């Protein structure tokens, strides 16, 4: 019968054999969350996964997560089919990861009932850089030194909001000038910077630990950095987000260097395919190239 899943028992050193079908949703989710922490997943990723599983559990009630079959999971997917493709794809992928974990390493299921759920096709992302004139307008209209350095770190170093929030005094390095950055998933990288940006950082370099502190003398959270930059743009009636500063850095860096691997490294992308989207902004370059090649061809025609 389609969707039939073998249930299992799990050996536990302190409890003997656990009957997986008797496990509560809270217990299973707690085990899963702990396993993700052990894998050093980011706190935001873990929080999102936990939220998703509790929402799924509500949809499956009175069945539990462990007892769910394919038809029930398909009904859940259908119930959220009005979501954006990227959001739906993320939810389905998260559920598939969870049920694979129930199979291995937990062995509470022998087969995942989520494996046949179709992940929606997500349209390719396109870069959305802030136009340079708008960025310069925002920078010139900024009277807050803290906001100014955040804008500059996004535009001229390509830092994410979390990387700005987590930047430390020890992360500012000299000879050559560079930043030691802690990014998504706590992955580390080196970002090279110019003297001008290094000078802009000087007022915040008289302390150890986190570079940017709130009025309560605590580090800013990534969300706070993002929200404050967004509100600053709103105050200037500019329809942009903090992350679009990074898009401007990426598109500009790739246009200047034509070196995809270099820009991938500086932006901390795991895959060059992520960096590749910034080539979409190069249409003027492609037109210039076509015109240059056309001129060469005209000269050859004239020589015949």
Closest CA to 251 of 228, 292, 283, 291: 283
Distances (CA, A) of 63 to 23, 24, 56, 116: 11, 10, 11, 19
> Is 50 exceeded by the pLDDT of residue 11?
no
**Which residues are CB-contacts of 53 (< 8 A; sequence separation ≥ 6)?**
25, 29, 32, 65, 95, 98
Q: What share of the chain is helix, strand, coil (3-state, %, to 5)?
A: 60, 10, 35
Q: Which residue ranges make up each domain of the chain?
A: 9-103, 132-283
Which residue do the tokens 């003297």 mark?
195
- Identify the weakest region by mean pLDDT among 137-141, 183-187, 251-255: 183-187
What are 168's strand-pairing partners? 210
Q: Which residue would you say has higher pLDDT here, 256 or 5?
A: 256
**Which residues are CB-contacts of 168 (< 8 A; sequence separation ≥ 6)?**
180, 208, 209, 210, 211
pLDDT the model gives residue 304: 66
Closest CA to 193 of 167, 221, 161: 167
* Range picked from 5-9, 208-212, 274-278 for highest mean pLDDT: 208-212
Mean pLDDT for all residues in the chain? 88
Sign of the dihedral through C-alpha 32, 38, 42, 44:
positive
Confidence bin at 281 (pLDDT 50/70/90): low
The end-to-end CA distance of the chain, in Å, is 74
Average pLDDT value for residue range 18-29: 85
**Which residues are CB-contacts of 39 (< 8 A; sequence separation ≥ 6)?**
none
pLDDT the model gives residue 16: 45
Confidence bin at 282 (pLDDT 50/70/90): low
Tokens of 186: 């706590």
Instruction: Give CA–CA dist 4/112, Å, rounded.
Output: 10
Q: Coil, helix or strand for 262?
A: helix
CATH 3.40.50.920 fits 132-283, yes or no: no
- Give residue-wise pLDDT tens across range 84-132: 888 999 999 999 999 999 999 999 999 999 999 999 887 766 778 999 9
pLDDT the model gives residue 2: 45
pLDDT the model gives residue 261: 92
Q: Which percentage of the chain shows pLDDT scores above 90? A: 67
> Is 90 exceeded by the pLDDT of residue 12?
no
Instruction: Give CA–CA dist 221/64, Å, rounded.
Output: 35
Confidence bin at 280 (pLDDT 50/70/90): low
Q: Which percentage of the chain shows pLDDT scores above 70? A: 90
Cis peptide before 62 (omega within 30 of 0): yes
> Is 50 exceeded by the pLDDT of residue 14?
no
Strands (E), the chain: 9-12, 16-19, 172-173, 178-182, 188-192
């Amino acid at each position: 019968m389609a969707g039939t899943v073998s249930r299992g028992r799990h050996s536990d050193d302190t409890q003997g054999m656990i009957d997986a079908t008797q496990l509560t949703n809270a217990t299973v989710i707690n085990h899963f969350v702990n396993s993700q922490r052990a894998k050093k997943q980011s706190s935001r990723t873990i929080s999102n996964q936990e939220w998703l599983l509790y929402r799924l559990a509500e949809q499956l009630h009175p069945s539990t997560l462990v007892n769910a079959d394919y038809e029930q999971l398909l009904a859940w997917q259908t119930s959220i089919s009005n979501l954006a493709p990227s959001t739906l794809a993320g939810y389905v992928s998260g559920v598939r990861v969870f049920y694979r974990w129930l199979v291995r390493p937990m062995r509470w299921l022998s087969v995942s009932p989520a494996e046949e759920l179709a992940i929606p096709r997500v349209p390719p992302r396109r870069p959305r850089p802030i136009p340079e004139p708008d960025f310069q307008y925002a920078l010139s209209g900024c009277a807050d030194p803290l906001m100014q350095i955040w804008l500059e770190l996004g535009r001229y170093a390509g830092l994410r909001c979390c990387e700005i929030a987590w930047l430390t005094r020890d992360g500012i390095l000299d000879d050559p000038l560079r930043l030691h950055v802690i990014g998504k998933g706590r992955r580390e990288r080196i970002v090279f910077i110019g003297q001008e940006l290094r000078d802009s950082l000087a007022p915040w370099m008289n302390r150890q630990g986190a570079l940017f502190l709130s009025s309560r003398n605590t580090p800013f959270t990534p969300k706070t950095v993002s929200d404050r930059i967004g509100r600053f743009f709103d105050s200037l009636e500019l329809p942009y987000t903090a992350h679009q500063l990074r898009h401007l850095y990426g598109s500009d860096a790739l246009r200047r260097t034509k070196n995809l691997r270099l820009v991938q490294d500086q932006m901390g992308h795991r895959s060059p395919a992520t960096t590749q989207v910034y080539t979409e902004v190069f249409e003027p370059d492609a037109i210039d190239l076509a015109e240059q090649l056309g001129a060469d061809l005209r000269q050859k025609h004239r020589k015949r």
